[in-house]
Each structure stands twice: as structure tokens, then as C-alpha cells.
Structure 1
Amino acid sequence: SYRLWVLVSVSMVCSQLAQDPKLKDGYNAMGFSQGGQFLRAVAQRCPSPPMKTLISVGGQQQGVYGLPKCPGESSHICDWIRKKLNSGVYTDIVQKHLVQAQYWHDPLNDDLYKKHSLFLADINQERVVNETYKKNLQLLDKFVMVKFLQDSVVDPADTEWFGFLKTGQAKETETLQESVLYKEDRLGLAAMDAAGKLDFLGTEGDHLQFTREWFNAKLVPYLR
């Protein structure tokens, strides 16, 4: 099952990191697209060796509620497909076997999402607050989030900065700072923000479209 795959993968990565003597004093991590939330799960679950900087490049930190190249708010057909997906995405078999279902976040059925999302709702502390997750994430020196300003693949694109659609509807978005996760500080992000540990970078272009020059100028310095 995918849930088992995630648990095994995170556990396997944790074991590999712990066994590498070169990483004993810490390391930096960079995840592209869904790799951004996978590596955040590693940071939350595996504090040794310590992850120092986490760079999420276009990561869907609050999940998605839309199809690539098909934003529901501007197309009746896309919206119809999206609603059809909702009818089955939180079933046990889909959650366990479809990767994309793990970061599908339905704002119209918030209780269903929180109850049946096996991966995202867990690492985002939306059922119960795991104090270990919260403590471990705050061990980061920096959590850098990159948003692609013309992203047509990730919907809503605000998820790349940990924002999302306001609960109960599918048109208006809210920033991380406006969310319950932040106001209740369920992940420790508000404390990290106050300490200057959160960096929000924006870049022109579609999903994962960037130049070598931009990468070297904006991201490489975090890795030094």
C-alpha cells in the first residue's frame, strides 16, 4: 500500500541518513514538487542526524485541490471532474494505492479529509498535535519555500507557500499566516516565522521551470 510505502520510505531514508558518518553533524535537504512534503516528513520524524535547511521547490505543503493544467475555478468541466474525484479519493483503497490521493485536500469536505487522509493530514497535524513532529520541525535553521508564480500544474499554487483554499469553498485562498495551522501553531511554523526561520521565495514561470542562474543565485547560498 502507499501508506506502507511512505512509512517504509521515510523509515528507510532515516536509517540511511543515520548510518552515514558524513552527515552526523547535520545536512541540508532540497525536495522538488511532492518531494518537498516528503522531506518535511523526514524532518518531522527523523531528527538524527539533524536536517539544518529544508528547501521545498514547488512542494504542495497543504496539498492540492485541482488537476494539472485544469484549474476548477475557471472551467466547468474541470470542476465537474474535481467533484467526481472527491467521491472516491478518501476511500481506503484509493488512499492506500494512489500516490496523488495522499496530497488531495478537499476544502469542501474538511472532516472527511482530516479523517481519511493517511499522509498529509498526519504530517500537517490536522487530527492531533504530535509534539515530537512539532519539536523536530522547529530544529530546522531554515525552511525555504519556493512558489512558481505562473504555476499551472499545482492548484492552488498558494500551497507552495503553505497557504490553501479557505475551508468550505473552493475559490478564495488564505495565506499560511491566516490559517488555523498557523494561528494554533500546530506545526510550530508561527514560532519559526517569528524567529526568522521561514523564507518565502517567488519565481516567474510554470511548475519547476527555472534557470540555472536563478538556482545558483537564490538557492545555492542556502546550501553553503
Structure 2
Amino acid sequence: MARTMEALFVVLTVTIAATYHVDAAKNASLPLVLWHGMGDSCCNPLSMGNIKKVIEKRVPGIYVRSLMIGDNVADDTINGFLLNSNKQVDMVCKKIASDPKLQNGYNAMGFSQGGQFLRAVAQRCPTPPMNNLISIGGQHQGVYGFPRCPGDNSTLCDYVRKLLDLGAYVSFVQERLVQAQYWHDPMNEDEYKKYSIFLADINNENVKNQTYKTNLMKLNKFVMVKFLQDTMVDPKESEWFGFYKPGEGNIAYPLQESQLYQEDWLGLQKMDKAGKLVFLSSNTDHLQFNLSWFEQNIIDKYVK
């Protein structure tokens, strides 16, 4: 009888432990990868460093990796202006693939230009798998203006403006200036498609890369945040994958009216109909979101 009770105790213990581990696995949050925007760095205590802390406090035990593009914070900041976008994406793909804590999948959150860069990661590097892609103010159809820079990078901003004035599609500028690589001139769509080395490629505007489409459609959710009072991104509709109509610099169209959507170059139409696209807004200027809004609408719904 004693042996029977002991055996029963062992069975119950193993069953309870197994149930606990299954429940824990279900409740555990996926790791999160962050990519900062132009003029910022991975670890600025007033921006990305603080965002990382907010997420870690809201989701105890979560692994958050804030990407550093380069060997130090100074390089990270400068590379946001001057390191070819394709090289940055390649670098990040390798970082993610070599991080043992990300091997079972992860969520990704990009701020401003980090949004479209992480989308390129999803399309080009599906292993390990990205679950939710959260783009906060990302410019997925590019920009047609450079009104101001964030932070204290006035020297770099002046340099960027001078290069863009020379011509965003001049090979020297296009190859070396990050912002030129997602510059989208609606007044000359043919030139944009011909010379854009990054944005036109990841948007499948020339050769239709089926792999890009297949990989993007693997996302569970593609969340896009638009800032309704944005004074930095021109046009702000780009944050929801809209843009100016061809030949227009004032009239914008939504994603659903674009050729990209209607011909489904990236699978966005299918994703939209499947409920995978999420369009959120903040009635503020660029990246000036309220912390409680961020916690309730982003962290609680798409990170936890």
C-alpha cells in the first residue's frame, strides 16, 4: 500500500510539473527586438534605454534586445545616417540569427526608420521567425521631405540636407545616405523605381520577389502606428503604408488604394483580409506618444 501511494505521488508530481511547464510556456512572452530611429541609439537613457526599461517592468522576465548598429553608441548614431540600409539589415539578420535567446522566435518593434528596416528583416531573414512586427512611425512608402532632425544632430542633419539637395538618386548619394534610400519622389516615380536601392526593392516595385511576399505573410500581426500631428514625416500617411499619388506632392492615398495593395505585391491585401494588419494612431507629433497609451495599446496587446 505504501509503495502504491508513493508511486501515485510520483505520478501526480510529474503531472503537475508538466502542466506547470506547459502553462508557463503558454504564458511566457516572446523576446523582443528593438530598432531605434534616425539620430538615436540603442541605449540612450532618454529614449530607447527608457523604452527598454518600461517594457521590462511591464513584462517581468522578458528578454529585450535593443540593437546597436556598430561597435559603440557613437557609431550606432552615425550609422543611422551614413551606413547603407542593406548593410544594416544584413548586420541585424546576423545578430538575430546568432542570439541564442531569439532562436524560438521573437517580436520586433521599430521606431521611425527602424520600422521599415525591421520589415526588411522579416522579408529577407525569416529564420528565426518574427512573430509580431510593430512599426511605430515607420515610413513604409518612404518620405518626400526632410523637415527636421530629432535630438542634437544638427551638423549631421545639415549634411543630409545638402546631399539630398544634390539629388537623392545620384549614385554617390543613394549608396551612402540612409535617408536617400527611402526617399520616394512622387513627381518622378520612374526615377525612384530605377535608382532606389532599398525601398523600391523591399516594396517589390520592380522585380516581384515572391520570397519577400511569402515571408511577410508569415507574420502573426503587422502593427503600424501613425502620428496624426506628425511634423517630421512627409507624408505621415506613409506610416500606414499610404503615400502621395503619382505626380502629386499634396494629395495622399491610403494603402488600400495603392497599386502595391490592389495587385498584392507583398501580400498585404491578404494579410488585411485575414486581420493581420493593425492600424493604430496617436494624436501627437512624431514618436511623442503617451506612456500609458504605449503600455495599453502596444505592450499589453502585442508584446506580452
Q: TM above 0.5, one fold?
A: yes
Aligned to 1:77: none
Return the letter of the residue paired with 1:28. Answer: N
TM-score between both structures, scaled by the size of structure 1: 0.89
Aligned to 1:223: 303
Q: Secondary structure at the match of 1:219?
A: helix
Measured after TM superposition, the shift of residue 12 of structure 1 is 2.1
Asked whether the equivalents of residues 86 and 198 of structure 2 are also in contact (C-alpha less than 8 Å), the reply is no
What stretches of structure 1 of length at least 5 have no aligned partner?
70-81
Aligned to 1:20: 99
Q: Indicate the residue corresponding to 2:120 in structure 1.
A: 41
The C-alpha deviation readout for 1:154-195, integer Å capped at 9, x for no partner, is 010000000000011111110000000000100110011011
The aligned residue for residue 145 of structure 2 is 66
Q: Which residue of 1 aligns with 2:19?
A: none
Matched, 1:136 2:136: no
Task: Confirm or deny that 1:92 pairs with 2:171.
Answer: yes
SS in 2 for 1:199: strand
Q: CA 1:3–1:98 in structure 2 vs 1: closer, same or farther (change >3 Å)?
A: closer
Partner of 2:16: none
Q: What is the deviation of 1:4?
A: 7.2
Deviation of the 1:89 alpha carbon: 1.2
CA contact (8 A) 1:86 1:106 kept: no
Which amino acid counterpart does residue 150 of structure 1 have in structure 2?
A: Q
Q: Displacement of 1:8 after TM fit? A: 2.8
Taking only the aligned residue pairs, the percentage that are identical comes to: 62
Distance 1:89 1:8 in 2: 18
Residue of 220, 238, 247 corresponding to 1:159: 238
Structure of greater Rg: 2
CA 1:205–1:85: 2 relative to 1, 3 Å? same
In the TM superposition, what whole-angstrom CA distance separates every residue of 1:38-68 from its partner, at most 9, and x where no partner exists? 0000000000000000000000110011232
Q: Distance in 1 between matches of 2:88 and 2:181?
A: 14
Report how many aligned residue pairs link the two structures.
211
CA distance in 2, matches of 1:133, 1:159: 19
Structure 2: tracts of 5 or more residues without a match? 1-78, 149-160
CA–CA separation in structure 1 for the residues paired with 2:233 and 2:88: 24
Partner residue, 1:32: 111
User: Does the residue aligned with 2:84 lie in a helix, a strand or coil?
Assistant: helix
Letter of the aligned partner of 1:163 in structure 2? G
Contact 2:140 2:239 in 1 (8 A): yes
Q: Partner of 2:224 in structure 1? A: 145
